[in-house]
Amino acid sequence: MTASAPRLHIERLVIVESRSPATFIRDIRLRTGLNIVWAEELTPAGGATEVERAGHGVGKSTFTLMLRAVLGDDGAAVKTMRNHLSEFYGSGGIAAEVVTGEKRFAVLRSFGQQSFALENATVEDLFEENAEANAVAFSAYVAALGEHACLLRMPTRTLPITGQTVEWSHIVCWIARDQALGLRQYFEWRNDDGTGLRRKVMDPPALVRLVLGLLGDAEAKAEKRISTIYGELSRARDTLRSEEQRGTNTRSIVETQLRVWAGVSSSLQMVTDDLFAESVETEIVRRAAQLETKNDDDRTLIATLDRDLIEVAADVKVQERIVELAKARWEESVALRCKDDTSLKEIRERRDTLLTLTGMCQYGGVAYPECSYVQTQRDVVKLTAKRDINVLTKTIEVQGDREAAEKADYEREAKALGMLMDARERMIGHRAALSFEIERRLRQLGEGDGVRRTLRQWQESQRAAETEKLRDARAAVLNFERNLETAKGAKVAAQQQVSEREQQITKRVAKLAEAFGVNGRYVPSDEKRPFQMLGADGDAYTVLEILLGDLACALDGASGGGAHPGLLIFDCPREREMSPHLYDRFLTLVDEACKAVPGLQVILTTTTPPPGMLCEPPTRILKLSRASDDDLLLKRRIENLLARAVPSSREMTDEDEG
């Protein structure tokens, strides 16, 4: 392929109403150079409204989506267009003749059916009876298109850092921007579903530099190395901060523990060289001495209590014997009294029985009151019972007095025993409390030993410059910083190898900017405005910078430099803030550039009348308006496709079948 031959060129675009029979709505011929689709605004005549006269809604954006479709774009906007048109032209589609290098393809991108391509064929060949038998799968066509139009010329196809492989779909996003997005920043290409690049901000600039031949393997490797080192350096710095914080935290924790144990305020200094000044260290020593002294005092008290407990135990034993003896005497008197009570009761019962007998005697056969034996026994019982009752009554009275005296003696001695035992329990409780306090202080002293060890460690850490881990962390950070500088140096060296290419791009941008009376430059490191018009401010010049940047890249590719396919699709750039004067100058500049570099193809839609002869064929390839249905792109009124932001849920899954 010669330098002037197009790397990518769309020669023909046909809107197909149906495949069988083959019926075309429009057959549009394109050429290398500038191709303008003009949506003419009608003059105010015949009572037409502003909407009816405007050049909007006639199909110019749909036309650019059709161009993107035959180039293999499958973004959300293209899917929306195809799904929508399939409702009206179910068997139709978009046919095109596309040339890339030495290869020529006829491609059919259907609205709702199978898509395919033919090599070295025309649009008419797509509708021959056995066309699909000789067809190339649509995915294979897109792959071949990308290879020959761009990818084969790239020094590397791998994006730095992520290692993502560059695909043709990424390039199409750049050369045919979403009209709905607007021209706000150079690297914003898609409005909805993205570009397919993993890093939304970093990858588009890297992709452009790859395509322009400004990012080779050496720089890509250096960039990846820099990214890796940045990650390692970040982790090393985190470790260093952690170790530094650990030392600070450890000292703070130790200091807090020391102050809590010593019971001192946070304002008291930790150590001092003044023998008479107070410090946490002196308070710790004083506190430990206080605990030891208190334990010694309590141990002395325990020894005294132990001696007293021995004496009390002896007294308790003696008193227990006295209480047992008193209890035995009391129980004896109770038993005697109980025995006399029983005898007295028996005498009274026998007497009362004899005195109250009634009825007939079974032996004498006479009544008891008339029985002489019974009468005799009654007289005897009266006398003896009276005597015995008197004797027993006196005895019981004497025994009662003795019982009361013995009970009083027992209760007195038992009370004395209780008092001795209570005193012993109090002494035992006191001893247990003293022992508990001694154990508690011993634990405090044990903790104090740990605190004193901690104090020594704290004093050593205060004297030590830094720990071994801290030194290692600091050394690791310094090492990674040196490695980072080395990697950056390698990146600079790699960039210097392509400095001539940067100068070539800068010269193209500067030459294009001269047409507007300002200086231009290319700054590849700028991730928002790589192409700059110096001294030109405002939204109009922001748009113009983007357009001139794209034009410079396409001119470079069409001239044989880099890997740009040399094709651009601009959808209504005039609607993005440019004044009529700037816009006319821009269109004229594009036409001049295309004539200077025959391999360049720029396809542009506009509602503003192109200047001079650019509004006439061959530059103006299609004129649309609302004058009649025949002047609309599809020759019928169809709802504006751009109003449908979300594609249909029905996905196109049949395109990979040949």
List the structure tokens of 477. 């950070």
* Distance separating alpha carbons of residues 49 and 72, to the nearest angstrom: 38
Write down the pTM of the prediction: 0.63
What are the start-end ranges of the H helices in 515-567? 539-558
Q: What is the pLDDT of residue 633?
A: 92
Tell me, what CATH number does 404's domain have? 1.10.287
In a domain, 439, yes or no: yes
Please check whether residues 513 and 477 belong to one and the same domain. no
* Distance separating alpha carbons of residues 343 and 334, to the nearest angstrom: 15
Environment class of residue 276 by beta-carbon count within 10 Å: exposed (0-12), middle (13-18) or buried (19+)? Answer: exposed
Please check whether residues 187 and 128 belong to one and the same domain. yes
Q: What is the DSSP letter of 98?
A: E
Alpha carbon 318 to its chain centroid, in Å, reads: 82
In a domain, 656, yes or no: no
Please check whether residues 172 and 49 belong to one and the same domain. yes
Please check whether residues 113 and 209 belong to one and the same domain. yes
Phi, psi of 102 (to 5 degrees): -90, -5
Residue in the block written with tokens 């596309």: 98
In a domain, 51, yes or no: yes
Helix H or strand E segment including 400: helix 372-463
Q: What is the pLDDT of residue 657?
A: 40
Please check whether residues 200 and 314 belong to one and the same domain. no
Environment class of residue 379 by beta-carbon count within 10 Å: exposed (0-12), middle (13-18) or buried (19+)? Answer: exposed
Domain, as residue range, for 371: 280-457
Which DSSP string do the residues of 123-146 spell out, in sequence order? TGGGGSTTTGGGPEEHHHHHHHHH
For the chain, helix, strand, coil in percent to 5 are: 55, 10, 30
Tell me, what CATH number does 207's domain have? 3.40.50.300
Please check whether residues 84 and 170 belong to one and the same domain. yes
Q: Under 8 Å CB-to-CB from 20, ≥6 apart: which residues?
A: 91, 127
Environment class of residue 484 by beta-carbon count within 10 Å: exposed (0-12), middle (13-18) or buried (19+)? Answer: middle
Nearest in space to 25 (alpha carbons), one of 37, 13, 36: 13
* Distance separating alpha carbons of residues 150 and 170, to the nearest angstrom: 11
In a domain, 310, yes or no: yes
Please check whether residues 294 and 252 belong to one and the same domain. no
Helix axes 76-86, 60-70, angle to 10 degrees: 110
Phi, psi of 571 (to 5 degrees): -105, 105
Among left, alpha and beta (phi > 0; psi -120 to 50; other), residue 562 is: left
Amino acid at 479: N
CA dihedral sign, ordered 302, 305, 309, 310: positive
Please check whether residues 67 and 192 belong to one and the same domain. yes
Q: How many structural domains compose the chain?
A: 3
In a domain, 307, yes or no: yes
Q: What is the DSSP letter of 43?
A: P
Apex 655 CA angle, 651 and 656, nearest 5: 120
Please check whether residues 484 and 506 belong to one and the same domain. no
Residue in the block written with tokens 């950070």: 477
Please check whether residues 134 and 233 belong to one and the same domain. no
**Helix (H/G/I), strand (E/B), else coil: 276:** coil
Please check whether residues 504 and 603 belong to one and the same domain. yes
In a domain, 198, yes or no: yes
Please check whether residues 188 and 297 belong to one and the same domain. no
In a domain, 384, yes or no: yes
Apex 156 CA angle, 155 and 157, nearest 5: 130
In a domain, 232, yes or no: yes
pLDDT means over runs of 10, the chain (658 residues): 70 93 94 94 67 75 95 91 90 94 93 90 92 90 95 87 88 88 85 80 88 75 72 79 66 72 69 66 78 87 88 84 78 68 59 60 61 60 59 66 77 86 89 88 76 67 62 79 75 64 90 93 89 87 92 93 93 77 93 94 93 92 90 81 44 42
Helix H or strand E segment including 394: helix 372-463
* Distance separating alpha carbons of residues 558 and 601, to the nearest angstrom: 9
The sheet carrying 22-29 orders its strands as 22-29, 9-19, 93-100, 103-110, 116-119, 136-137
